[in-house]
Structure 1
Amino acid sequence: MSAKAARQARELLLKEYRGVLSTHSKSMPGFPFGSVVPYCLDADGNPLILISRIAQHTHNLQKDPKCSLLVGERDAEDVQAVGRLTVMAEAHKLADPEAIEAAAGRYYRYFPESSQYHSAHDFDFWVLRPVRHRYIGGFGAIHWLDDVTLANPFAGKAEVSMVEHMNDDHANAIAHYVELSGLPASAPASLVGIDTEGMHLRIGQGLHWLAFPRSCNTPIQVREALVLLARAEQWPDREAVEG
């Protein structure tokens, strides 16, 4: 059960792209301070955020890096009946130039508008390294989880190559994924990320994650999954496929 709950918690992190970051207030000691932040997952599967040096939550993290990120299913009519995840973590500001470059390359694909204000203002990348997770999958489905994160074997050149290839040469396939999965067709979709378990599409300002029929650990397996989905008449049920 814990393995299934860990996968569901990880998929919730992948499906969403914004959450409530809670930090220890510097100006009001003893009180938690909540703020909304967009995020994507880094190469190690940890939440990656880009925050301003003058923001209150940044000042709080500089004094005490212990924090949490609350993520819930978007557009839920009953928030207590759907999944939500609290990631208890320690925040670390990226300082190594290579780490910053890797973070920027990934983050800007997900949030391209951020590159403009990042270059014009004082923003830094921070990674939230999980200590423990609290996942609630609905009424009665409550779990403490220690092992949720999963490293992305494609992060870097392999992922960039696959993403660019799909966007440049297979726009029709991406449009088919949108139609097949029932995602909004309000704007042309582009592929922005690939991980072991699925792919991220950007439609307008929104991000959407779609699960592969099976986990993919090599670029060849990813290609096979993308071809299968391009020819599918309905989106495969991953749990039914994997049994």
Structure 2
Amino acid sequence: MNTKDEGAQEPKSVIRPTDDQARRMAKGLVRSARFGALAAIETDTGHPLASRVAVATDLDGAPVVLTSLLSGHTSAIRNNPFCSLLVGEPGKGDPLAHPRVSLLCSAVPIERGSSTHERLKRRYLARHPKAELYVDFGDFAFFRLEASRASLNGGFGKAFELQHEDLLARVDDLESWSEMEAGAVSHMNEDHRDAVKLYAEVLCGGESANWRLACLDPEGIDLASGDRVERLWFAEPLSKPSDVRPTLVALALQARNG
């Protein structure tokens, strides 16, 4: 005898199938974030401890934080690296109607003086120039947040579950990309500010401002002006650093043509 009600239906899942649009939204929220809420397990009590932290990203899109070794959240992630990071800024109206993503991460400390430290320092300062005042203090350290999965809320009724591979850009030669990025960013900001302005105001629809190229990676560029950040995606991910120059030239031409 079947005891299950014949008319009963299985609860409908609120999680939508992950697609390229969801991946792009999640990556964009992380790439454009200036700050986020870092939640870790407090060492003494075992309670979740949430702190506001300034955020940048590595070349592949992994979040990066610079923290004081005297802070409670630094002690927490050094003792237990499992943590989560929530990013996504609310706009006008209901804050719950705006997209946000929560990443479940493992915090990896970065050795001072390593090539990774120098790369993250450069990219972090490109997003947070005022951190130049304390970035080299002995009681500050970088952590790269390695995300295993993420929960994306794109607004009411738009929930997605993303995996590690959905969140990162593919970077085959990290050192070559890092070396190229440092020179390209400096060159664009010194010699091609007009093109940078076009990227932000024409292709991204940003407000008129003193824009600069903050960072670039195989999937796009980050443009910044004060507290404002715009993300410009390439039409297709680039496979090698030498593809960057012709891509930026083509984007400038596209912007000038309207």
TM over 0.5: yes
Of 113-122 and 62-71, deviating more is 113-122
Select the residue among 11, 17, 41 that pairs with 2:34: 17
Q: How does 1:205-216 map to 2 (within 5 A)?
A: 205-216=227-238
Shift of 1:101: 2.0
Structure with bigger gyration radius: 2
Q: Alignment partner for residue 156 of structure 1, among 167, 174, 178?
A: 178
Q: Mean alpha-carbon deviation: is it higher for 133-142 or for 71-80?
A: 71-80
Q: Which amino acid counterpart does residue 169 of structure 2 have in structure 1?
A: L
Superposed CA RMSD: 2.4
Aligned residue in 2 for 1:201: 223
Alignment of 1:81-230 (within 5 A): 81-95=97-111, 97-98=113-114, 99-120=116-137, 122-146=139-163, 147=165, 148-152=167-171, 155-180=177-202, 181-186=204-209, 188-230=210-252
* C-alpha displacement of 1:125: 0.5
> 1:98-150: CA deviations, max 9, x gaps?
22222212222222221211234610001111121111222222122112222
With over 3 angstroms needed to count, the CA separation of the structure-2 counterparts of 1:234 and 1:212, relative to structure 1, is farther
Distance 1:235 1:192 in 2: 24
Range moving further from structure 2, 133-142 or 63-72: 133-142
Counterpart of 1:10 in 2: which secondary structure? helix
Matched residue type, 1:211:
W
Q: Identify which of 55, 69, 72 aligns with 2:71.
A: 55
8 Å CA contact 2:56, 2:124 repeated in 1: yes
Matched, 1:41 2:64: no
Q: Per-residue deviation at 1:217?
A: 2.6
Evaluate the alpha carbon distance shift between residue 52 and residue 235 of structure 1 in structure 2; reply closer, same or farther with a 3 A threshold: farther
1:222 match: secondary structure: helix
Mapped contact 1:110–1:202 kept (Cα < 8 A): yes
User: Residues 92 and 204 from structure 1, CA distance in 2 versus in 1: closer, same or farther, beyond 3 angstroms?
Assistant: same
Structure 2 counterpart of 1:8: 25
- Could you list the runs of 4 or more consecutive aligned residues of structure 1 that deviate by over 6 angstroms after TM superposition? none
Tell me the TM-score normalised to structure 2 length: 0.81
Give, in angstroms, the shift of residue 220 of structure 1.
Answer: 4.5
User: Which structure 2 residue ranges, 5 or more long, are not aligned?
Assistant: 1-16
Paired with 2:66 and 2:18, the residues of 1 have a C-alpha distance of: 31
**Are the equivalent residues in 1 in contact too, given 2:30–2:61 (CA < 8 A)?**
no
| Percent identity of equivalent pairs | 30
